[in-house]
Amino acid sequence: MTRDDVPPTGGFAALGVEPALASALEALGYEEPTAIQRESIPPLLEGRDLLGQAATGTGKTAAFALPILQRVVTGEPEPNRPRALVLVPTRELAMQVAEALHRYGRAKHASVLPIYGGQHIGQQLRALQRGAEVVVATPGRALDHIERGTLDLGGVRVVVLDEADEMLDMGFAEDLDAILKRTPKERQTALFSATLPKRILSIAEKHLRNPVRIAIAAPRPQAGEAPRVRQVAYVVARPHKHAALGRVLDMESPTSAIVFCRTKREVD
Ligand code: AMP
């Protein structure tokens, strides 16, 4: 269900969102909560763990950001000791989620810091030292800071695993385990994933306590907006595959392309 399918519900305040945050959202033009927000915000505000199946575009960022801002952000950061940790698979998502938290939490003077691989470590060390109440991190870089002693998770009250399936696909499973081990047992944990295969469910079983389960379908394209996809298959004998691929690329001359192969050697 998308936000267009549902009748108005009385806005964010009806979900228990505090006035400072509700007005920030109104100012951003968010009139009504989306389905994932309606279902996730009340249990998260109560402190429940949550297992949410939701894709990007459903409004899931605000669904976990608002409860974090309301429950743990006071505007008084401690050096190197965040109160909430959001783990995401990529640097782009880290920046995007941090920016959203910053926008929604401006009235509360929320300090939000994205930390990700590839960014200058010295800059991150100084920012962590100044203190951030919410850290949004990619797992590898978070672990790096934990091991350096520059990220202390002992004061973390909320952990969000965002796009958990992507994090596992990128090989972060062990990093996630190692990071979660450094957080207090009594923390609140929310896991969001577009898909819920077995390996996600086993992470949930290991790290979530009696979670509320929520599943929200990805937003459907409006009529007329559906992407038009042309699919073509060329069946060629194995020895001719390379030449055929070369011809197809010449003919189509795409601005970008992804070629999938079965083996590492074929990729080379
Ligand atoms: P997300 O799924 O979190 O990436 O959000 C998708 C987009 O929806 C973002 O551009 C948000 O700014 C926007 N959005 C989130 N919640 C709402 C809402 N309640 N009303 C309008 N737009 C929203």
Looking at the chain, the whole-number percentage of residues with pLDDT higher than 90 is 74
Q: Which pLDDT score is estimated for 7?
A: 52
End-to-end CA distance of the chain: 43
Mean pLDDT, to the nearest integer, of 126-136?
Answer: 97
Beta-sheet pairing, 158-161 with 134-137: unpaired
264: confidence class by pLDDT, cuts 50, 70, 90: confident
- Res. 146: pLDDT tops 90: yes
- Res. 151: pLDDT tops 70: yes
**Ligand 1 atom nearest 12 alpha carbon:** 19
DSSP the chain: --GGGS---STTGGGT--HHHHHHHHHTT--S--HHHHHHHHHHHHT--EEEE--TTSSHHHHHHHHHHHHH--S--BTTB-SEEEE-SSHHHHHHHHHHHHHHTGGGT--EEEE-TTS-HHHHHHHHHH--SEEEE-HHHHHHHHHHT---GGG--EEEETTHHHHHHTT-HHHHHHHHHTS-TT-EEEEEES---HHHHHHHHHH-SS-EEEE-PPPPPPTTTS-----------GGGHHHHHHHHHHHH--SS-----SSHHHH-
User: Considering only CA atoms, which residue is closest to atom 6 of ligand 1?
Assistant: 57
Ligand 1 centre from 59 Cα, in Å?
Answer: 4
Q: Is any atom of ligand 1 closer than 6 Å to the C-beta of 52?
A: no
Q: How far apart are CA 51 and CA 181, in angstroms?
A: 19
| Order of strands across the sheet that contains 134-137 | 112-115, 134-137, 84-87, 158-161, 188-193, 50-53, 212-215
Tokens 């998260």 belong to 44
Name the residue of 21, 30, 60 whose CB sits within 8 Å of the most ligand 1 atoms, as the mutation to test its pocket.
Answer: 30
User: What's the predicted TM-score (pTM) here?
Assistant: 0.82
268: confidence class by pLDDT, cuts 50, 70, 90: confident
Q: Is any atom of ligand 1 closer than 6 Å to the C-beta of 104?
A: no
Q: Which pLDDT score is estimated for 224?
A: 73
Measured in degrees and rounded to the nearest 5, phi and psi for residue 178 equal -65, -40
- Res. 121: pLDDT tops 50: yes
Name the residue of 1, 3, 88 whose CB sits within 8 Å of the most ligand 1 atoms, as the mutation to test its pocket.
Answer: 3
Mean pLDDT, to the nearest integer, of 8-25?
Answer: 90
Reported as a single tens digit per residue, the pLDDT across 172-227 is 999 999 999 999 999 999 999 999 999 999 999 999 999 999 999 876 667 777 66
Radius of gyration of the chain (CA): 21
| 86, 136 Cβ separation under 8 angstroms | yes
Reported as a single tens digit per residue, the pLDDT across 1-10 is 444 455 556 7
Looking at the chain, the whole-number percentage of residues with pLDDT higher than 70 is 95
Reported as a single tens digit per residue, the pLDDT across 238-248 is 889 889 998 88
Q: Which amino acid is at 69?
A: L
User: Considering only CA atoms, which residue is closest to atom 1 of ligand 1?
Assistant: 59
Q: How far apart are CA 36 and CA 50, in angstroms?
A: 12
- Res. 137: pLDDT tops 90: yes
